[in-house]
């Protein structure tokens, strides 16, 4: 890598040359212009995509159902996305006998429709129809304040205000919340009011409590009050030495949006209804953060997936969306697998969070990536007029946070404890029935830790955009040695560092590239001290299909920090060269050439995993039979891990088989989303 005036980074290593040759053999030269944006609204890749005469306006799984339809299989629920007002002819179809519009998502110009399977083709033929996808099933993806550093820097310079999330609304889109749990009471002497400001049900069950038990645990990880404690003298304190199990933003307001039913399952249409409600009511409840500890198979490209597009609308409106990466990082035999990021974690504007294992200690020098945390790259795809699939291949997750065997609130009489009573580890030591605690593992527990951190950052500095929040979280993260970017993104969450920089940010009114971003001319020291351990910041961002480094990322305004764009815009590849568009980045930003394996110091100082240009080539990551550095094979329809075949659009590691089976162990063998 080198840094001339335009930050042009040449691909010169032997590994890169080999990868490019393999890419050429497998599918042609990489397409130029991937992820560059100059029009302020669509990347060059998006424009290339939109110019294609798309052969498919129907999602692959829905198309497969058409092909495999049996007698009597004549009704299907779909999500209909429009690009214009429906014509009279389309309205006539939607009012036809046997066709039922179940829900309108007016903020996303979409509808949930039930109709005969044979009508799908007719529906997709209308020019105002953008895309038709199945109403897929959504499932839950199953000592924090000390180990993350959030107990430090909890004050604003020159102010007596405590950074505890006060006034910031976090929408927890999950299985509901237990309204009587002590974790959700307000802070302060004599305060017993609930911090759950509104509750809505989108499951059709007509209840907003948490019979399943997932949402209560998730919400408490983000925002449990400091009154939620276990007695220090209890036997549990030996295993869990921290007596208080408060959340990161322990006085934030909670908005309870229930989309998962009593069995922990929901639908894409229910999730869209909840996100549509957020768009309409975000200002009323000051909803600045949405937590999505749930997911579904990432089949359609983020450009077409209706939930991904809804997430993008949230981010463009100034709402930070945090999504769990998923828990499919290994197969049933325990082999490491790649390409298993779930939707909507495959959406570029979302902050996608994987799970780190702290091994039950507050110290960070023993932290690793959990074996089950889903790895990138994203394998969702779109299909061109020739029937060729073009995979997104984005680096995800964006960062990781503690997610293994995390103690948090237990909902009353919840299904999870009935199924896995061994998770109820603290019941016998808590005096009140509405103060129960349990442990869970998974990226679904890691995500709310980041959501709570975002709430603290926005309390400290309400002017932060979602992209600035995301950038600061990555820039200040700690690189975990031996983990590559597909496993950890930028590294492990460092709340202290993210808050310290967030307080200094003052986005320029002109939003000019290179304008000062901080209120000081002296950059903050890129290190944090957490429990006497010095934590070095990554000092970089993962973005799209590569990464960027340089102190300019926090000292100067970058165009990628605005609304209506995503981090990763402005990166161009052509003829094996990765460069940064100077209209999007200041001259001090260096664009990298490789996906790296960290050495535990800063981003860019690690060893190459393989070339970014391989990711940017359309459709093929690496040629069949080519081993990556850890012995795992990646490619279209080839072996992802020993004996496990991945075909396009199929998610390996079934949720029921992998995530639920040994979740109760909490020992990094399996987990809950």
Q: List, by residue number, the catalytic residues.
A: 174, 214, 444
Task: List the beta bridge partners of residue 132.
Answer: 58, 80
Whether 516 contacts 457, CB under 8 Å: no
Prior bond to 58 cis, omega within 30? no
Whether 423 contacts 438, CB under 8 Å: yes
Question: Using CA atoms, how far apart are residues 660 and 653, in angstroms rounded to an integer?
Answer: 11
Whether 219 contacts 174, CB under 8 Å: yes
Q: Which residues contact 523 (CB under 8 A, 6 or more apart)?
A: 551, 554, 555
Question: Using CA atoms, how far apart are residues 321 and 291, in angstroms rounded to an integer?
Answer: 6
Q: How far apart are the first and last CA of the chain?
A: 38
Ramachandran class of 643: left when φ > 0, alpha when ψ lies in -120 to 50, beta otherwise: left
Structure tokens at 116: 């005969």
The torsion defined by the Cα of 627, 633, 639 and 641, in degrees rounded to 10, comes to 110
Structure tokens at 188: 């302060």
Whether 336 contacts 630, CB under 8 Å: yes
C-alpha angle 375/549/630, rounded to 5°? 30
Ramachandran class of 605: left when φ > 0, alpha when ψ lies in -120 to 50, beta otherwise: alpha
Question: Using CA atoms, how far apart are residues 554 and 261, in angstroms rounded to an integer?
Answer: 42
How far CA 46 is from CA of 42, 376, 568, in Å, comes to 6, 21, 13
How far CA 163 is from CA of 248, 286, 351, in Å, comes to 10, 16, 21
Q: What DSSP state is assigned to residue 345?
A: T
Full DSSP string of 604-644: TSSEEEEEHHHHHSSS-SS-TT-B-TTS-B-STTSEEETTE
Q: Which residues contact 24 (CB under 8 A, 6 or more apart)?
A: none
Question: Using CA atoms, how far apart are residues 570 and 36, in angstroms rounded to an integer?
Answer: 4
Question: Using CA atoms, how far apart are residues 557 and 269, in angstroms rounded to an integer?
Answer: 37
Task: Tell which residue, 49, 53, 54, 101, has the closest CA to residue 77.
Answer: 101
Could you list the beta-strand ranges (E) of 9-84: 9-10, 76-82
Q: What DSSP state is assigned to residue 108?
A: G
C-alpha angle 172/672/350, rounded to 5°? 45
Whether 586 contacts 573, CB under 8 Å: no
Whether 394 contacts 343, CB under 8 Å: no
Question: Using CA atoms, how far apart are residues 196 and 437, in angstroms rounded to an integer?
Answer: 19
């Amino acid at each position: 890598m080198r840094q001339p005036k335009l930050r042009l980074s040449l691909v010169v290593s032997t590994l890169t040359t080999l990868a490019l040759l393999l890419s050429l053999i497998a599918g042609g030269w990489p397409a130029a212009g991937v992820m560059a944006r100059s029009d302020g609204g669509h990347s060059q890749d998006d424009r290339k995509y939109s110019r294609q005469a798309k052969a498919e306006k129907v999602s692959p799984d829905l198309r497969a159902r058409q092909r495999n339809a049996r007698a009597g299989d004549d009704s299907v629920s779909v999500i209909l996305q429009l690009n214009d007002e429906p014509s009279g002819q389309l309205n006539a179809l939607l009012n036809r006998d046997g066709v039922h519009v179940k829900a309108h998502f007016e903020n996303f110009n979409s509808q949930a429709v039930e109709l005969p399977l044979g009508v799908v083709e007719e529906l997709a033929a209308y020019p105002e129809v953008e895309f038709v996808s199945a109403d897929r099933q959504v499932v839950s993806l199953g000592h924090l304040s000390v180990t993350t550093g959030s107990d430090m820097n909890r004050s604003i310079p020159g102010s007596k205000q405590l950074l505890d999330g006060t006034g910031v609304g976090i929408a927890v889109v999950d299985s509901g919340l237990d309204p009587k749990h002590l974790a959700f009471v307000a802070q302060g002497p004599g305060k017993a009011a609930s911090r759950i400001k509104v509750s809505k049900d989108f499951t059709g069950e007509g209840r907003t409590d948490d019979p399943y038990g997932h949402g209560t645990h998730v919400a408490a990880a983000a925002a449990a009050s400091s009154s939620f404690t276990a007695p220090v003298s209890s036997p549990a304190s030996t295993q869990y030495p921290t007596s208080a199990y408060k959340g990161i933003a322990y006085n934030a307001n909670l908005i309870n949006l229930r989309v998962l039913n009593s069995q922990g399952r929901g639908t894409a249409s229910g999730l869209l209804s909840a996100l549509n409600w957020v768009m309409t009511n975000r200002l009323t409840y000051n909803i600045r953060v949405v937590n999505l500890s749930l997911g579904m198979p990432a089949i359609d490209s983020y450009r077409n997936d209706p939930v991904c597009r809804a997430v993008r609308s949230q981010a463009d409106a100034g709402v930070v969306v945090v999504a769990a990466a998923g828990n499919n990082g290994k197969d049933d035999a325990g082999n490491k697998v790649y390409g298993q990021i779930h939707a909507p974690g495959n959406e570029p504007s979302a902050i996608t969070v994987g799970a780190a294992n702290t091994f039950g200690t507050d110290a960070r020098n023993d932290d690793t990536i959990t074996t089950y945390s889903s790895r990138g790259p994203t394998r969702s795809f779109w299909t061109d007029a020739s029937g060729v699939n073009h995979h997104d291949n984005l680096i995800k997750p964006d960062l990781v946070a503690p997610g293994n065997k995390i103690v948090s609130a237990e909902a009353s009489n919840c299904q999870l404890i009935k199924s896995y009573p061994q998770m109820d580890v603290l019941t016998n030591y808590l005096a009140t029935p509405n103060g129960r605690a349990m442990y869970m593992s998974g990226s679904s527990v890691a995500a709310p830790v980041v959501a709570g951190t975002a709430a603290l950052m926005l309390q400290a500095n309400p002017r932060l955009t979602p992209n600035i929040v995301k950038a600061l979280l990555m820039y200040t993260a700690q690189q975990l040695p031996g983990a590559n970017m597909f496993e950890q993104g930028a590294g492990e969450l460092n709340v202290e560092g993210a808050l310290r920089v967030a307080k200094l940010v003052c986005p320029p009114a002109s939003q000019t590239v290179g304008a000062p971003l901080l209120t000081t001319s002296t950059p903050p020291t890129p290190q944090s001290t957490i429990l006497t351990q010095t934590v070095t910041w990554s000092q970089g961002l993962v973005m799209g299909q590569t990464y960027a480094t340089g102190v300019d990322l926090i000292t100067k305004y970058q165009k990628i920090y605005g609304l209506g764009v995503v981090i990763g815009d402005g990166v161009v590849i052509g003829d094996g060269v990765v460069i940064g568009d100077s209209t999007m980045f200041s001259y001090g930003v260096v664009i990298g050439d490789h996906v790296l394996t960290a050495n535990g110091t800063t981003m860019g100082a690690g060893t190459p995993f393989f070339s970014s240009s391989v990711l940017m080539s359309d459709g093929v990551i690496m040629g069949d039979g080519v081993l990556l550095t850890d012995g795992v094979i990646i490619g279209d329809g080839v072996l992802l891990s020993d004996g496990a075949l991945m075909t396009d659009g199929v998610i390996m590691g079934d949720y029921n088989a992998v995530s639920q089976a040994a979740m109760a162990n909490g020992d990094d063998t399996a987990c809950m989303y």
